[in-house]
Amino acid sequence: MTSSSNDITYFGLTIPFLAHLGVVPEYAEGGKSRISLVIKPEFENSFHIVHGGVVMTLLDFAMGAAARSTIDQRLGAMTIDMSVSFLRPSVGKIVVEGSVLKSGKTINYCEAVVLNEVGEVTAKSSGTFMLRR
């Protein structure tokens, strides 16, 4: 990891794995979040598209960031459950947008989508998150 990736924070959190991948945090506010990632060959599976595990990581983080943004939660959000649908291959630069569907005191219901460079949805997810106290 380069020294510059050590300086990256993800909406107030230091997350070495996201920094290692090169995830770019764009915003997390008002129950919405946006991150992006340029897909590198080392992120690809045998079909030469981004590995599903990378996509799931991004969807999970985008939803958690959206949940944290509803109350300016600094400690993080824990995933209770998550489902993912892969709709088409993800290649090139992808953007992931997360949003809160319903927020509560500690439990938030969220969704997120992965968009390719032309704005098509390549994957979508829904999840339940508990805000860490």
Question: Per-residue confidence at 1, pLDDT binned at 50, 70, 90?
Answer: very low
Q: Which residues have CB under 8 Å from 53's CB, separation 6+? A: none
Q: Which residue has the higher pLDDT, 12 or 3?
A: 12
Answer yes or no: is pLDDT of 42 > 90: yes
7: Cβ contacts below 8 Å, ≥ 6 apart: none
Q: What is the pLDDT of residue 8?
A: 87
Q: Measured between alpha carbons, how far is 114 from 116 in angstroms, rounded to an integer? A: 7
Model confidence pLDDT, tens digit, residues 68-123: 998 866 778 999 999 999 999 998 999 999 999 999 888 999 999 999 999 999 99
pLDDT for res 106? 87
Domain at 3-131: CATH architecture: Roll (3.10)
Q: State the amino acid at position 8 in one-letter form.
A: I
Predicted TM-score (pTM) of the model is 0.92
What is the 8-class DSSP label of residue 117? T
Cβ neighbors of 80 (< 8 A, separation 6 or more) are 107, 127, 128, 129, 130
pLDDT tens digits, 57-71: 999 999 999 999 988
pLDDT at 18: 97
Check residue 112 and report its DSSP letter: E
Selection from 102, 54, 57, 104 nearest residue 79 by Cα? 57
